[in-house]
Structure 1
Amino acid sequence: MAGGAVSNSTYISSTNTETKNSSYLFPFILVTSLFFLWALIHNLSPVLIPHLKKACQLTDLQSSLIDSAVFAAYFLMALPAGAVMRRFGYKTGIIFGLCLYALGAFLFIPAANSREYVFFLGALFVIATGLTFLETAANPYVTVLGSPQTATTRLNLAQSFNGVGAVLGPVIGARFILSGKELTKAQLDAMSPVQLQQYLSTEAGTVKIPYLVIGLVVLLVAVLFVFTKMPDVQETTDEAIDTSKSSGSIFRHKHLIAAIVTQFFYIGAQVGVNAFFIRFAKFSAGVPEKEAANLLGWVAGLGFMTGRFFGTFLMSKVKPQLLLTLYGLINVVLILTAMLCKGTIAIGAVLMVPFFMSIMFPTIFSLGLRGLGKDTKFGSSLLVMSIVGGAICPPLMGLISDASNIQMAYIVPLFCFAVVVWFGTKGYKLDAAASH
């Protein structure tokens, strides 16, 4: 997912513990590649939004449905994906997920030929369904591919490839998808119908080769999984979910409810900030689309990746809720600056936001699960499902943009980060406050 992979899977154990850790090196590389593959798709979305807006002649609201298609798939398919894993195993689930991913990528070709926006959304939904399977399985696999003592280190290493995808996604999109031809409405109106259709078809067609290559690479990874011996990943019976042992409704945990609400808004902010950056850069500073996409990758993406490591270091010295509040306040100020200023100041403010977003998803997640006891796994599932915020907040931004402008649309992430600040100051301790 966009905020960094956090699995809601149960505790796992390996039945191949007698195998030497060195034999896990290639399987570990394969599983780690999954973290990059799903991050790549998420970070191509900010490129697809302005590109398909142009090629399919969409409003900002319509173009924002790209993120809605992706995150709706996560929300709708998370539980079915988990059921498939339990029934057929994690390796089978990964191979099935990769096949769906590849199929969705190949569907971009007929979608581009037809230039029908709904076909692009359908292709993205198929890809995201595949990603749901991959994210459900990847974390459990990483934890068993070696010594239990180094499981956390391996997981952090694998998750760092999310950051690589965050950097390379927009850069690849800038190089191979965006044409750099940004015609004004007057220029489009001056074209003959034949010239206009040729221009729009050419624009839509730039996605064919990149997504064909992506689909072929994903298929290759699927074949490698087929022929690679992977360890068994099993639930331990004593850790299986047993709701009969829960001492009441999970919704009695007020801080968990606060975390679910906050995670919903945080994911909405994270997706929305990046989704419309290329449009924002053009409106507020006249930055060309290719240059804006490169800035999104090399500055914002790299900032998000380094911010995760720096934030982890700070948490050894600062309480997580305090750091969350501070980062939330900083982002409120940055977004407000971006809304009120123009030029380099506005662009720079938005580009700094991902650095301070970097610790939010895992921090909200862990604070929400504190003290849940036997309800931890169910609470984890609810927190994961709250990423549906990524399907709802971008369309709200698109709606505001169509009614005013894209700069004013950033009031949505501004509100979302204000919710994060509330959670860091009060929301995380609602249960403790209620007990006094």
Structure 2
Amino acid sequence: MPASPPPAAQQNNNQALTVLTGLFFMLGFITCLNDILVPHLKAVFDLNYTQALLVQFCFFTAYAITSIPFGKFISRLGYKNGVIGGFLIAALGCVLFYPAAGSKAYGIFLGALFILASGITLLQVSGNPYVTLLAPPGKEARTLTLVQAFNSLGTTVAPLLGAFFILSGEVLTSAQQDALSAEELVRYQAEQAASVQVPYLILAGVLVVLALAVAFIRLPDAGKIAQDISAHQSEDKGSAWAYRHLVLGTVGIFCYVGAEVAIGSLLVSVMGLPDVAGMKDAHAAKYLSYYWGGAMVGRFLGSFLLNIFNPGKYLGFNAAVNVLLIATAMTQGGHVAMYSLLAIGFFNSIMFPTIFSLATRGLGKYTSAASGILSTAIVGGAAVPLIQGFVADHTTLLSSFWVPAVCYVYILYFGLVGHKADD
């Protein structure tokens, strides 16, 4: 374990951590807007659940394709350049929503989402290890949880703004669309698709401003900190892949992101079921803020509780509660199901930062490579929702929630046992 940094250095680190809160806010905001896009585009293009969840599939597949190359990019050019590049690539993806909407083609939307997600991936690969390296020794999980609370603030605000800008217009049912003439249907689809243009252009502008802000701010050299940690390691295994707790943590990230995204993507549809709440999409989207708001509250609270409780045991407890909440939703239905699924957001709160910090513990110079590996596992946000969508199409929507329940069972294992593999 490296020696604690001197007060001046730690103050500089605190300033850098403050800057990184803006990064995590935008990560949460943009990612959560997908939960608004799923029901919106499902209605506009008359898609089934599997087709609609291709939004999440394309977005999170970018993590699988680009994370490891981005990890190598960061190891050469530095974490700060990774953050700047991530903001600019994400801004380009947002700009491409404008021609995508004009094309009135679902496939073009998915392509723009992939580019946007590539920028978000670079931000993830840069930001998460940057925070753990700048954190005081032994406080990595607490610090990453606190900074990621601003990620949850973004996910809390996004459904409210998304509902206002994207879901405020009347969305016709499939039967109503069938009654339109060919010309009226094309015009209707164009109007609905265009409702995403202005919000994403605004996002593009914000992302460019953030890139410029980071470029002109002096930030600590996290690469040097990683090398200092390596110098104090008792054992160098030669590769990030040789650390078993990293491999098991990678599966944990896959399961966590997959479960969180699957639940968030389908909550609006669940609340629209007659035997649950029978809400319209615009109204249900406002309740989605409780799901993400719970994660925000849980992260702020968790940053305090992680000073008291063992991170692994705290992670395992939250995973066990989520399994029980899903079981309650599936068996009870009605408003009990709705509020049980919304409550999962609170217990999701500390999962990503805790899994990430436990999986990268003690990796030193392999931290950037490990971040690329872990960020690749965020592809769980593509795979798990698609699997659940397939199950929902062939059974019922509520019964499909056994899919994220299995994910939380694995996280329970990692929290109690898996992260200790290299101890």
Smaller-chain TM-score bracket: 0.7 to 0.9
The change in CA–CA distance for 1:212 and 1:252 in structure 2 (over 3 A counts) is closer
Aligned partner of 2:153 in structure 1 is: 164
How do 1:376-395 residues align onto structure 2 when only pairs under 5 Å count?
381-395=372-386
Aligned-residue sequence identity (percent) comes to 38
Is 1:207 the counterpart of 2:196 in the alignment? yes
1:153-192 correspondence runs (5 A):
158-192=147-181
1:279 aligned residue = 269
Alignment of 1:87-126 (within 5 A): 87-126=76-115
How far residue 310 of structure 1 moved from its aligned partner, in angstroms, is 2.5
Do the aligned residues in 1 keep the contact of 2:141 with 2:357 (CA within 8 Å)? no
Q: How far is the alpha carbon of 1:319 from its aligned partner?
A: 3.4
Alpha-carbon distance in 1 for matches of 2:63, 2:50:
20
Write the deviation string for residues 359-409 of structure 1: whole angstroms up to 9, x where unpaired: 222333344456879877765554343222112101001111222332222
Partner of 1:132: 121
CA contact under 8 A between 1:141 and 1:233: conserved in structure 2?
Answer: no
Q: Name the structure 1 match of 2:259.
A: 269
Residue 344 of structure 1: which of 316, 329, 335 is its match?
Answer: 335
TM-score computed with the length of structure 2 as normaliser: 0.84
TM-fit CA distance, 1:107: 0.6
Over the residues paired in the alignment, what is the CA RMSD in angstroms? 3.7
Q: Does 1:53 align with 2:38?
A: no
> What is the deviation of 1:281?
1.0
Q: What is the deviation of 1:45?
A: 0.9
Q: Measure the CA separation in 1 of the matches of 2:11 and 2:414.
A: 41
Q: Look up the SS of the partner of 1:235 in the other structure.
A: helix
- Could you tell me whether the CA contact under 8 Å between 1:108 and 1:207 is conserved in 2? yes
Distance 1:180 1:133, change over 3 A: same
Q: Unaligned 5+ residue runs, structure 2?
A: none
Are residues 402 and 214 of structure 1, via their aligned partners in 2, closer, same or farther at CA, if it must alter by over 3 Å? same
Shift of 1:342: 2.9
Check whether the contact 2:141–2:358 (CA below 8 A) recurs between aligned residues.
no
Instruction: Find the aligned partners of 1:371 and 1:54 in 2 and give their Cα distance.
Output: 48
User: 1:33/1:344 Cα in 2 relative to 1: closer, same or farther (>3 Å)?
Assistant: same
Counterpart of 2:389 in structure 1 is 398
- How far has the Cα of 1:148 moved from its partner? 9.7
* Alignment-mate amino acid for residue 277 of structure 1: L
| In 2: Cα distance, 1:175 partner to 1:341 partner | 31
Aligned to 1:412: 403
CA distance in structure 1 between the aligned counterparts of 2:134 and 2:377, rounded to whole angstroms = 29
Quick check: 421-430 or 193-202, which moved more?
421-430
Which one of the candidate residues 340, 347, 356 is aligned to 1:356?
347
In structure 2, the residue matched to 1:67 is 56
Among candidates 347, 353, 356, match of residue 365 of structure 1 = 356
Equivalences, count: 415
Q: Residues of 1 paired with 2:217 and 2:396: CA distance? A: 53
Residue pair 1:268, 1:389 contacting (<8 A) in 2 also: yes
Change (3 A) 1:147 1:274: closer
Unaligned runs of 5+ in 1: 1-10
- Cα pair 1:267 1:390 within 8 Å, conserved: yes
Residue 294 (structure 1) aligns with: 286
Deviation at 1:282, TM superposition (A): 0.7
Tell me the residue number matched to 2:24.
Answer: 35
Rounded Cα–Cα distance in structure 1 between residues aligned with 2:321 and 2:135? 39
Q: Deviations over 1:239-289 (max 9, x none)?
A: 56999x645887676555443323321221111111111111112321111
State whether residues 71 and 372 of structure 2, in contact with CA within 8 Å, keep that contact through their aligned partners in structure 1. Answer: no
